[in-house]
Amino acid sequence: MNYLKWKEVAVDLLVDIIASMAIAVGVYNFALNANFPVAGFSGIAIIIYHLTGIPVGVGTLILNIPVAIFCYKFLGRTFFLKSLKTIIISSVFMDYIAPMLPVYEGSRFLAALCMGVLCGFGYAVIFMRGSSTGGQDFISMAVKKVKPHISLGIITAVQDFSTILLGSILVFKDVDGFIYGIIVTYIMTLIMDKILYGMDEGKMTLIVTERGEELAVQIDEYTGRGSTILRGMGSYSKRKKDVIMCACNNKQMYTIKKMVHALDPEAFTIIVESNEVVGEGFKVEI
Residue 279 inside a domain? The answer is: no
The whole-number average pLDDT for the span 274-282 is: 59
Residue 282 inside a domain? The answer is: no
Residue 285 inside a domain? The answer is: no
The count of domains in the chain is 2
| Structure confidence at residue 25 (pLDDT) | 93
> Among 55-59, 117-121, 280-284, where is mean pLDDT lowest?
280-284
Residue 189 inside a domain? The answer is: yes
Q: What is the pLDDT of residues 156-209, one digit of tens each?
A: 667 777 888 877 777 777 788 788 888 888 888 888 777 766 655 677 888 898
Q: Where are the beta strands (DSSP E) in the chain?
A: 202-209, 228-233, 240-248, 268-274
Q: Where in the sequence is the domain holding 243, given as residue range(s)?
A: 202-274
pTM, whole model, 2 decimals?
A: 0.69
Residues 189 and 209 in one domain: no
Q: What is the pLDDT of residues 48-103, one digit of tens each?
A: 887 888 888 888 888 887 777 776 776 677 777 888 888 889 888 988 898 899 99
Asked if residue 47 lies in contact with residue 86, where contact means CB atoms within 8 angstroms, the answer is no
| Structure confidence at residue 279 (pLDDT) | 59
Quickly count: other Cβ atoms within 10 Å of residue 86's Cβ. 23
| Structure confidence at residue 84 (pLDDT) | 82
Residue 281 inside a domain? The answer is: no
Residues 107 and 162 in one domain: yes
Domain CATH number, residue 246: 3.30.70.120
Residues 106 and 39 in one domain: yes
User: Which residues fall within 8 angstroms of residue 281, CB to CB, at 6 or more apart?
Assistant: 224, 225
Residues 103 and 223 in one domain: no
Residues 183 and 206 in one domain: no
Residues 162 and 254 in one domain: no
